[in-house]
C-alpha cells in the first residue's frame, strides 16, 4: 500500500503508467483528518506575469505586500520558491532585494547545516525565506508562531511555472498545513514561459480575460505530454537493455560459452556500412608521353 497527497494531480499519461506498468488499478481518496484545506489562492488575482525588465521589482513588491496580512500592525512569513539556485541567487544579489538581504533565510538542495533550525525560523513573523523548488517538495514548514497564524498564516510565492501540476501542489502545500490558514501566489516572467510555447499575444489575451491560469495549465499539460512521450521511449530502451543484461548473466552462470560469445559479438560489432570504392584512371595527353 502506498500513500500520496498528490495522486489526484497525476496526468493521464502518468495514471496510465501506474495502471499498466505497475498494475495498480484501484486507488482510494481519503479526506484529510484536519478537514477542508484553508489555502487562499484566487486564480484571477493571485497570478502576475510581467516582462523581464520589471520582474525583480514586481517580485519584491509582492513580498512586501504579502508580509502584511489581516492585521496591518503585525507581519506574516513569506516563502519564495525558485526553479534553480542560479535564479534564486540572481534575485538575492539584486539591488531590489538589498534591504531584505541581511535578514533573509536562503536554502537550496545543498543546505545541510542547521537545516531544522533554519526551517523553524523561516515561519516566524516578518521572516522572508528564499528556496529552490527541491526544498518545496520535501520540507515540512510547521508554523508555531501565533502572530503569523492569526494574520493569515504563511504566504508562498512560486516564481516559475511547474512542468507538472503535482509539483505545483507540493509547493502550494508548504502552507495551510494541518487545518491552518495560508495563501499562495504566482509571480512569473513572460520570458520563462517561452519554453511552454506561450506567446505574448496569448498572455495579453488572458490578461484581458482576467485569468491566466487556464492558459498556463493547458500549455503546461501539453508540454508535459510531449516530454513524457519522449521519456517513455528511453524507458522502453532501458527495459530492453536490462533484459539483455539478465540474459547475459544467465548465460555466464550456465557456462553457455557459445551464447556468451554471440551476445558479446552482437554488442561490440561496429555499425554496418557499405564500403564504396572509387577507381580513377589517369591518361597522359602530352607529346612527350608518346616517346617514353
In a domain, 225, yes or no: no
| 75 & 188 share domain | yes
pLDDT in tens, 213-232: 999 999 999 999 998 888 88
Q: At what angle do helices 213-253 and 200-209 cross, to 10 degrees?
A: 130
168 and 245 inside one domain: no
Q: Per the structure, how many domains does the chain have?
A: 2
Q: Do 157 and 86 share a structural domain? A: yes
82 with 91: CB under 8 angstroms? yes
168 within a domain of the structure (yes/no): yes
- Asked if residue 275 has pLDDT above 60, the reply is yes
Domain carrying residue 246: 236-266
Kindly write down the DSSP assignment for every residue of 95-118, as one continuous string: GGGHHHHTT-EEE-TT--TTHHHH
From 15-24, 125-134, 151-160, the region with the lowest mean pLDDT:
15-24
Task: Write out pLDDT tens, residues 66-114.
Answer: 999 888 899 999 999 999 999 999 999 999 999 999 999 999 888 766 7
Q: State the pTM of this model.
A: 0.80
Q: How far apart are CA 217 and CA 219, in angstroms?
A: 6
Picking from 181, 153, 156, 152, the residue whose alpha carbon sits closest to that of residue 168 is: 156
One domain, residues 83 and 190 = yes
Amino acid at each position: 500500500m502506498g500513500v500520496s497527497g498528490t495522486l489526484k494531480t497525476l496526468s493521464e499519461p502518468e495514471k496510465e503508467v501506474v495502471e499498466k506498468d505497475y498494475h495498480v488499478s484501484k486507488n482510494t481518496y481519503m479526506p484529510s483528518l484536519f478537514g477542508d484545506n484553508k489555502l487562499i489562492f484566487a486564480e484571477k488575482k493571485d497570478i502576475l506575469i510581467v516582462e523581464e525588465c520589471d520582474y525583480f521589482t514586481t517580485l519584491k513588491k509582492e513580498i512586501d505586500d504579502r508580509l502584511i496580512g489581516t492585521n496591518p500592525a503585525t507581519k506574516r512569513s513569506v516563502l519564495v520558491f525558485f526553479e534553480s539556485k542560479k535564479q534564486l541567487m540572481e534575485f538575492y544579489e539584486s539591488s531590489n532585494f538589498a534591504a531584505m538581504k541581511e535578514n533573509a533565510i536562503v536554502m537550496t538542495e545543498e543546505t545541510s547545516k542547521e537545516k531544522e533550525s533554519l526551517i523553524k525560523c523561516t515561519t516566524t513573523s516578518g521572516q522572508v525565506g528564499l528556496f529552490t523548488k527541491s526544498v518545496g517538495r520535501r520540507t515540512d514548514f510547521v508554523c508555531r508562531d501565533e502572530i503569523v497564524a492569526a494574520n493569515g498564516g504563511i504566504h508562498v510565492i512560486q516564481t516559475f511555472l511547474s512542468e507538472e501540476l503535482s509539483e505545483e501542489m507540493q509547493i502550494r502545500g508548504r502552507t495551510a498545513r494541518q487545518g491552518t490558514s495560508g495563501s499562495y501566489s504566482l509571480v512569473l516572467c513572460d520570458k520563462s514561459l517561452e519554453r511552454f510555447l506561450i506567446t505574448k499575444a496569448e498572455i495579453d489575451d488572458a490578461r484581458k480575460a482576467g485569468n491566466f491560469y487556464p492558459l498556463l495549465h493547458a500549455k503546461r499539460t501539453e508540454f508535459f505530454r510531449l516530454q513524457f512521450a519522449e521519456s517513455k521511449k528511453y524507458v522502453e530502451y532501458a527495459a530492453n537493455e536490462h533484459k539483455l543484461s539478465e540474459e547475459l548473466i544467465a548465460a555466464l552462470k550456465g557456462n553457455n560459452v557459445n551464447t556468451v560469445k554471440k551476445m558479446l559479438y552482437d554488442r561490440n560489432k561496429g555499425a554496418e556500412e557499405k564500403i564504396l570504392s572509387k577507381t580513377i584512371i589517369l591518361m597522359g595527353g602530352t607529346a612527350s608521353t608518346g616517346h617514353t
